[in-house]
Amino acid sequence: MTQIHPVILCGGSGTRLWPLSRTALPKPFLPLVSEQTLFQQAVARVAGDDRFAPPIVVAGAAHVGLIEAQLGDTPGARLVIEPAAKNTAPAIALAAALLPEDAVMLVCPSDHHIADPAAFRAAALAAAALAREDYLVSFGIAANRPETGYGYLMRGEPLPGGFAIQQFVEKPDLARAEAYLASGEYSWNGGIFAFRAGHLLAELAAHRPEMARAVREAVAAGQAEGRQFHPAPAPFAAITGDSIDYAVMEKTARAAMVPADMGWSDIGTWASLAEALADTADAAGNICRTSGAGAVDLDGCEGVFALTDGPRISAVGLKDVCIIISGSEVLVTSREGAQRVGKLPGASTP
Amino acid sequence: MTQIHPVILCGGSGTRLWPLSRTALPKPFLPLVSEQTLFQQAVARVAGDDRFAPPIVVAGAAHVGLIEAQLGDTPGARLVIEPAAKNTAPAIALAAALLPEDAVMLVCPSDHHIADPAAFRAAALAAAALAREDYLVSFGIAANRPETGYGYLMRGEPLPGGFAIQQFVEKPDLARAEAYLASGEYSWNGGIFAFRAGHLLAELAAHRPEMARAVREAVAAGQAEGRQFHPAPAPFAAITGDSIDYAVMEKTARAAMVPADMGWSDIGTWASLAEALADTADAAGNICRTSGAGAVDLDGCEGVFALTDGPRISAVGLKDVCIIISGSEVLVTSREGAQRVGKLPGASTP
């Protein structure tokens, strides 16, 4: 049986998880949900399973040190270093150009949490089967709340193991999100994809020919260095960046989706991290995480998420508040306000 | 005209203002409401006014250094150093024993805020006039909310410039506090008193003779050292401590009160400090105080009180929350919860 090639993208900045996530140490490389970092979890999710080939990691030069350290001696792993940040379409195309035409690639963000890896792998197998039939396949994440922060996929005609995609929907307002949830026909677009490498490049050449050409040139003139691959900077730098959704998925006639109900979270905000950690909460829904000399004392609190790397946190009478201490920064946000953390002045400092 | 002798008591621990107020640096010695500390404000309130004599400060040995520094060269000031903490009755009696029998003493806590010092001085004059007639006079603080954290004074027959006290009431429950407020007959017992020194000692001798005897002995065997007076430790240490309310005020037949509407606050909690600072709030009722490298960034907050001596505070979407950073302690409390801060584990650490 042909193996599936995991492609792990390390592009996100995660400013909404400031002050823990910073430019120099962004979200994928933090141990947010477990002892492992989100990146290490993404690698582990497809490791030790013969159905999956070793991963290809795509990342910027700034994070090579972190990735080499966190990859450790993962057998056969490769690392593609983007000469510039150009969004997901060029990053995915780089990996595709390094794979055989008939290889099936499974594109995974490095900064998501998946509580049920077995369900993830089952969905990956279904997606790979459709990708081998030259569908461009997106994971349709089971929606469990009227989320306004994600795009949605509307399912169309059934396909083996999935559905055609009837429609891509941008982030909706609350009323529409509630209607989508009630209809049962919509899933979240979680940014996880399966493609046959050659087919993805062919679709890119059809819809964004200059991008496809630049990626081919960057790979042809690139340099391998151990397990690292450095595409040529000049052609890559000339690319006008775009997401894989805009560049290809919303344009192709072969878009498909596989349903995936796997305890997924993009850990997009402190509130969603608190939700992902809900099974570690006390009876009042409080979650405390300490490192270093950190300690947390709570009195009459409900739904508080407290995280500190040093100073003691003492909290009284709070409800649904996140308190995050990292270095010399102290963030206190309501769960509803957590979406806006990335806009704070502090989140723009290195 | 005979001068009034201010007696400033420095006994409170102020644990509810932890982590700023600590055993080593308690509340009176912190610049909470202005550039001056509460103690300095208490001294300044009666300074530069011929109607008031220089102050007598009564405090424990642990705080002599702070007091000497904060008193500076206040002309004529004296400092009585309690050999042990025995509550307010013995502290007041020490000062009384050091004054002429006919001196009128004005007893003031050192850790309260009074927004209108002129109204305070007017009430002090009225209280002193009654004290000269051998009334034991308490300030009846104008109540403006159904506070359950204070004792109340019920007014009785009118006297010149005040009223007899009909009844002393312990901290009431909310229903009773609301009834007191509605009736208009009750004031808060703010712990500010006027006595003729000899009369106070005579009443103490009548109601707590062993305490009065011990104080007399401690003063007789005490030692003056510059502006400091050290009562003899042995007799003072043997005293069973008590408040002036229990020891004398609730037992005398000569209890009186003068009404005082003077913007009083005991700055008992972070919430009450925020109220005392309300005129420095922004349009959304937020109050920020920084020292050192401290900074505060707020987004969508209302009624937030943020105070930091170093780390930046970033807050999003909070309502009526106090965030206090001091050294390596971070306190986050709802305004309602602020009463319970003194019970936190951190508040018991030195």
Does B19 have pLDDT greater than 80?
Answer: yes
Strand order in the sheet with B295-299: A287-290, A305-308, A321-326, A329-334, B312-316, B295-299
**Contact between chains at A315 and B328 (C-beta distance less than 8 A):** no
Q: How far is the C-alpha of A167 from the C-alpha of A190, rounded, in Å? A: 15
Rounded to a whole number of angstroms, the distance between the first and last alpha carbons of chain A is 46
A95 and A28 in one domain?
A: yes
What is the per-residue pLDDT across A146-158, written as a single tens digit (0 to 9) for each? Answer: 999 899 999 999 9
Domain termination residue (choose one: A234, A265, A296): A265
Q: Complex ipTM above 0.95?
A: no
Would you give the distance in Å from CA A76 to the centre of its chain? 22
Torsion of CA A330, A336, A337, A338, to 10 degrees: 60
Sign, Cα dihedral of A42, A47, A52, A56: positive
Q: Region B45-50: what's the mean pLDDT?
A: 95
Q: Region A69-86: what's the mean pLDDT?
A: 96
Q: How many CA atoms lie within 13 A of A71 on its CB side?
A: 24
Kindly list the residues from chain B whose CB atom is less than 8 angstroms away from the CB atom of residue A331.
314-316
The DSSP secondary-structure symbol of B13 reads -
B310 and B278 in one domain?
A: yes
Q: Are B340 and A317 in contact (CB under 8 A)?
A: yes
Does A125 have pLDDT greater than 90?
Answer: yes
Q: What are phi and psi of A104, to 5 degrees?
A: -95, 125
Residue B106 in tokens: 């004005």
B279 and B226 in one domain?
A: no
What is the per-residue pLDDT across A313-339, written as a single tens digit (0 to 9) for each? Answer: 999 999 999 999 999 999 999 999 999
A134 and A254 in one domain?
A: yes
B337 and B226 in one domain?
A: no
Q: Does A308 touch chain B (CB under 8 A)?
A: yes
B2 confidence band (pLDDT: 50, 70, 90): confident
Question: How close A284 gets to chain B, by Cα (Å)?
Answer: 16
Across A12-21, A252-261, A328-337, B57-66, least confident range? A12-21
Which residues share a beta bridge with B7?
B56, B107
Ramachandran bin of B161, using left for φ above 0, alpha for ψ from -120 to 50, beta for the remaining angles: left
**Contact between chains at B297 and A340 (C-beta distance less than 8 A):** no
The pTM score is: 0.88
B162 and B97 in one domain?
A: yes
Number of domains in chain A: 2
Q: How high is the pLDDT of residue A1? A: 59
B285 and B157 in one domain?
A: no
What is the per-residue pLDDT across B260-285, written as a single tens digit (0 to 9) for each? Answer: 999 999 999 999 999 999 999 999 99
**Contact between chains at A310 and B300 (C-beta distance less than 8 A):** no
Does A88 have pLDDT greater than 70?
Answer: yes
**Contact between chains at B340 and A300 (C-beta distance less than 8 A):** yes
Nearest CA in chain B to A331: B314
Q: How high is the pLDDT of residue A292? A: 84
B322 and B251 in one domain?
A: no
Q: H helices within A62-167, ranges in order?
A: 64-71, 88-98, 117-132
Kindly list the residues from chain A whose CB atom is less than 8 angstroms away from the CB atom of residue B346.
297, 312, 314
Residue of B19, B300, B323 with shortest CB distance to A340: B300
Kindly list the residues from chain A whose CB atom is less than 8 angstroms away from the CB atom of residue B310.
328
Nearest CA in chain A to B300: A337
Please confirm whether the linkage preceding B19 is cis (ω < 30° from 0).
Answer: yes
**CB proximity under 8 Å: A 175-204 to B:** none
- Which residues lie closer than 8 Å to B321 by C-beta, 6 or more apart? A318, A321, A332, B301, B303, B304, B305, B315, B332, B333, B334, B335
Cβ pairs bridging A and B (under 8 Å): 124
Q: Does A331 touch chain B (CB under 8 A)?
A: yes
Task: Tell me the residue type at A136.
Answer: L
Q: How many CA atoms lie within 13 A of B212 on its CB side?
A: 15
**Contact between chains at A311 and B330 (C-beta distance less than 8 A):** yes
Domain termination residue (choose one: A212, A231, A265): A265
What is the per-residue pLDDT across B92-151, written as a single tens digit (0 to 9) for each? Answer: 999 999 999 999 999 999 999 999 999 999 999 999 999 999 999 999 999 999 999 899
Q: Region B171-181: what's the mean pLDDT?
A: 96
Task: Tell me the residue type at B78.
Answer: R
Nearest CA in chain A to B19: A314
A78 and A55 in one domain?
A: yes
Question: The domain that contains B35 carries what CATH number?
Answer: 3.90.550.10
Task: Tell me the residue type at A27.
Answer: K
A41 confidence band (pLDDT: 50, 70, 90): very high
A168 and A282 in one domain?
A: no
Would you give the distance in Å from CA A172 to the centre of its chain? 20
Sign, Cα dihedral of B169, B175, B178, B180: negative
Task: Tell me the residue type at B165.
Answer: I
Which residues share a beta bridge with B82?
B60
Q: Region A258-269: what's the mean pLDDT?
A: 95
Q: How high is the pLDDT of residue B350? A: 67
Residue B325 in tokens: 């950073």
The DSSP secondary-structure symbol of A31 reads -
Parent domain of B300:
270-348
Q: Does A334 touch chain B (CB under 8 A)?
A: yes
Q: How high is the pLDDT of residue A306? A: 98
A318 and A244 in one domain?
A: no
State the Cα angle at A196 between A210 and A200, rounded to 5°: 15
Largest CA distance in chain A: 62
What is the per-residue pLDDT across B184-198, written as a single tens digit (0 to 9) for each? Answer: 999 999 999 999 999
Average pLDDT taken over every residue of chain A: 95
Q: Does B349 touch chain A (CB under 8 A)?
A: no
Q: How high is the pLDDT of residue B1? A: 59
Helices A209-220 + A88-98 axis angle, to 10: 50
Domain termination residue (choose one: B265, B285, B307): B265
A182 and A133 in one domain?
A: yes
Q: Are B276 and B31 in contact (CB under 8 A)?
A: no
**Nearest one of A189, A242, A260, A268 to A28, comparing CA atoms:** A268
